[in-house]
Amino acid sequence: MAQGCQKLEMCTPQLVWIIVGLISLSIGLARPALAAGPEERVREILVAVSAVMQDPQLQGAEHQMERQQRVRRIIVDAFDFAEMGRIALGTHWDRLTAGQQAEFISLFGDLFERSYNRLVLRVLSERETVYGAASREQDRATVQTTLVVRKTNEQLPVTYRLLDQGGHWAVFDVVVDGVSLTLNYRAQFDKIIRSASYGVLAEKIKAKLAQEPS
């Protein structure tokens, strides 16, 4: 009997540590990952895009389509084109049918993506991204960055405006060198709709997308 108790006493500490380890593991697995804040979210976007643009296996004209597709997936996940579409159309948004709104979100997403790619992404790998001030007010946030050429100290300020969507921060505007891309489009769209119609605007965007290389 004493021998049996001795064996039990020797096994008990091991058993306790095994149970503690399993409990700790289960707690770790159950703990939700902390959502990235606004600045961290912008960093994630730019790092992901840079990784694609600098990937040695994706260099050359023969891989251009694949590079564009990968970058597009990153942008689609990171940007809220529905919110951007509402801002870009202003008071005209509520006058559109649900079908027209869906059409415009798609068209504007393609249009904005090309502008952002031309103005920012194409020079991203050639410059260092310096992060500046970040501010937050309720569900909105602003993250300031500067793309810098170290040899010449040439600087391009790029500010990201983000919206909190239940713990996930999404970009709804990019301000390049002081010019808001979303609001700049808004002025153009308003003029076309007032002088013609939404249908004319949609056709103009389609024509522009067809003419310009992606």
10-residue averages of pLDDT along the chain (214 residues): 46 40 38 67 94 88 86 92 96 97 96 89 87 94 95 93 94 96 94 97 96 72
- Residue 21 tokens read as 């380890």
Helix (H) or strand (E) holding 131: strand 128-137
What residues contact residue 214 under an 8 Å CB cut-off, 6+ apart? 68, 110, 114
What is the predicted pLDDT for the residue at 121?
85
**What is the DSSP-derived secondary structure letter of residue 119?**
I
What is the predicted pLDDT for the residue at 8?
38
What is the phi/psi pair of residue 196, to 5°? -135, -100
What is the predicted pLDDT for the residue at 213?
65
Domain ranges of the chain: 38-211
**What is the pTM assigned to this prediction?**
0.79
Length of the chain: 214
What is the predicted pLDDT for the residue at 161?
97
What is the predicted pLDDT for the residue at 10?
43
* Gap between the Cα atoms of 70 and 85, Å rounded: 23
* Gap between the Cα atoms of 84 and 76, Å rounded: 12
* Gap between the Cα atoms of 105 and 109, Å rounded: 6
DSSP 20-40: HHHHHHHHHHHSPPPPP-HHH
Count Cβ atoms below 10 Å from residue 94 Cβ, excluding itself. Answer: 9
What superfamily would CATH give domain 38-211?
A: Tgt2/MlaC (3.10.450.710)
CB 141 within 8 A of CB 135: yes
Helix then strand count (H, E) for the chain reads 8, 5
What is the predicted pLDDT for the residue at 64?
83
What is the predicted pLDDT for the residue at 214?
59
